Amino acid sequence: MEKQVPHIKTALPGPEAKKVLALDHQFVSPSYTRDYPLVARRGQGMFVEDVDGNSFLDFSAGIAVVSTGHCHPEVVKAIQRQAENLIHLSGTDFYYPQIAQLAEKVAAITPGNFAKRVYFGNSGTEAMEAALKLARYHTRRPGFIGFFGSFHGRTFGALSITASKAVQRNRFGPLLSGVAHAPYPNPYRCAAGHKPGECECDPLEFIEKILFKTSVPPEEVAAIVVEPIQGEGGYIIPPSSFLPRLRELADRHGILLIFDEVQCGMGRTGKMWACQHDGVVPDILISAKGIASGLPLSVTVARADIMDWPPGAHASTFGGNPVACAAAFETIRLLEEKYIDNAARVGEYILKRISNWPAKHRIVGHVRGRGLMIGIELVKSQETREPFPEARHTILERAFEQGLLILGCGESTVRLMPPLIVEEQHSDIALDILERCISEAEEKL
């Protein structure tokens, strides 16, 4: 079904899609967030086809998951080969080659020239739970520091570190105790609300001079948890000095540093790991999403001397499933051979093309990105930089109606996170549609 352009042949949603939507509304949890009524039937490469035969160009990649595109033939073959031999046994209680071999590979490709160990789970939030438990176990300290705007998952520990949207925490308290948050450095928008050009806030000074002196004794902090590039918070790229200074602060107080690379890792930024852009090595790194091209798998990677918990301390029935491991092996091979370089090349092409959008469009306040992790922030006024969520909602809907799948992040940012196989021709189509939608929103709102 691989196509070169989107093709919409029915009203959206179409008649078959409406049947699925009715069933979904009746039986599926209403807690899921859906920006528009896409009902997918199949995917191939850069395109998704819905149940009515409409085809869409996918610049969301299943929320940055299908890194090698939909149903990459080599990944599919790897899955099929493994499924014919062993689908499940549980690495919690038994051994099989795939889990040990993948752990060796993951240890080799993650930052740090030291011995490592790997814990396998099924999702990013599971990886974060493992990281938090491990940090507490190893340090014998109870506390954590996270950052406002961060997203680390929805299970209790991960949710306690998350500070992205109030709805994600509403009526789920009390959450994990001993968690504090600091502002995440945003070069475009001051987290404290200062006007453009007036911000002199320093998140690390906030940690040292406010948290450590008033409410969070550093000797009680097990770990600082951070996204090298903030994902759900708005695709925010911090200053290049941020991670090195954070590393120095953590070392000075004997605090572990946990990098959440669930969304920004696995080649998305044009390097295997986003932290490699700044040359900083964490004590613990977690990843999921793009690691297995759509199969559920996550990793928590730590220095071997840190992952010192005993048998029974933590485990997962399905984590490191043989089929997911096979998909991950093939995904990593493809990323290393060509798709990480492609992410850097096409990402640079996209950023160059949209760099003048703030000058062309009054509601585009800022464009930013690394590789294929690109954010376009919408504002009501470029002078005040007031967020414009209504415009984003309109743009996402109109893009869907014209055959482009994109999602938002932060308060009013459109994020572009296509599969890493994307080519310049796909990008031109997507950007033509997106710019047309932005122009329509400017006229309408």
**CA neighbours within 13 Å on the CB side: how many for 58?**
29
Report the 10 Å Cβ neighbour count for 441: 21
Considering the domain boundaries, does residue 138 fall inside one? yes
Domain that holds residue 45: 15-71+338-444
Q: Are residues 330 and 342 in the same domain?
A: no
- pLDDT at position 2 is 55
- Mean pLDDT confidence for 125-152: 98
Both tokens assigned to 220: 């009680």
Closest CA to 319 of 290, 293, 299, 289: 299
In a shared domain, residues 325 and 413: no
Tell whether 8 is covered by a domain: no
> Pairing relation of β-strands 179-182 and 143-147?
parallel
pLDDT tens-digit series, residues 88-136: 999 899 999 999 999 999 999 999 999 999 999 999 999 999 999 999 9
Of 305, 335, 365, which residue sits at a domain end? 335
Give the CATH number, domain containing residue 370. Answer: 3.90.1150.10
Q: Does residue 7 lie within any of the structural domains?
A: no
Per-residue pLDDT tens over the stretch 251-290: 999 999 999 999 999 999 999 999 999 999 999 999 999 9
Six-digit token pair at 418? 């296509």
**3 occurs within a structural domain:** no
pLDDT at residue 1 is higher than 60: no
Classify residue 178: in a domain, yes or no.
Answer: yes
Written as six digits, the tokens of 176 are 């994990």
Q: At what angle do helices 322-334 and 73-83 cross, to 10 degrees?
A: 150
Residue 1 in any domain: the answer is no
pLDDT above 70 covers a percentage of the chain that reads: 99
For the chain, what is the mean pLDDT?
96
Q: Is residue 209 part of a domain?
A: yes
Let me know whether 251 and 181 are in one domain: yes
Domain count, the chain: 2
**pLDDT for 445:** 86
Per-residue pLDDT, 198: 66
User: Where among 281, 307, 335 does a domain terminate?
Assistant: 335
- Residue range 381-423, pLDDT digits in tens: 999 999 999 999 999 999 999 999 999 999 999 999 999 999 9
What end-to-end distance do the CA atoms of the chain give, in Å?
37
Please tell me whether residues 167 and 212 are part of one structural domain.
yes
Helices (H), 184-282: 203-205, 212-214, 242-252
In terms of domains, do 80 and 67 share one?
Answer: no
Residue 80, Cβ density class (10 Å: 0-12 exposed, 13-18 middle, ≥19 buried): exposed
Same domain for 155 and 271? Answer: yes
101 and 240 share a domain? Answer: yes
**Per-residue pLDDT for 71 more than 70?**
yes
DSSP 118-168: EEEESSHHHHHHHHHHHHHHHH---EEEEETT----SSHHHHHH--S-GGG
Residue bearing tokens 């009054």: 362
Which of residues 335, 358, 387 is at a domain's end?
Answer: 335
pLDDT, mean of residues 10-35:
97
**H or E stretch covering 438:** helix 424-444
CATH number of the domain encompassing residue 214: 3.40.640.10
Q: Tell me: do 139 and 256 sit in the same domain.
A: yes
Instruction: Indicate whether 257 belongs to any domain.
Output: yes
Do 346 and 392 lie in a common domain? Answer: yes
Cα–Cα distance between 212 and 238 in angstroms, integer? 22
Residues 195-211, mean pLDDT to the nearest whole number: 85
Residue 183, burial from CB neighbour count under 10 angstroms (0-12, 13-18, 19+): middle
DSSP 8-state assignment for residue 309: P
* 107 and 244, same domain (yes or no): yes
Predicted pLDDT at 62: 96
Under the banding of pLDDT at 50, 70 and 90, the label for residue 196 is confident
Tell me if 59 sits within 8 A of 416, measured CB to CB. Answer: yes
Same domain, 361 and 309: no
Of 233, 284, 264, 319, residue with least CA distance to 67: 264
351 in the same domain as 292 = no
Cα–Cα distance for residue pair 100/93, rounded to 1 Å? 14
413 close to 377: Cβ distance less than 8 angstroms: yes
The model's confidence at residue 201, banded by pLDDT at 50, 70 and 90, is: confident
What are 235-244's pLDDT values in tens digits?
A: 999 999 999 9
Q: The tokens of 10 are what?
A: 């029915």
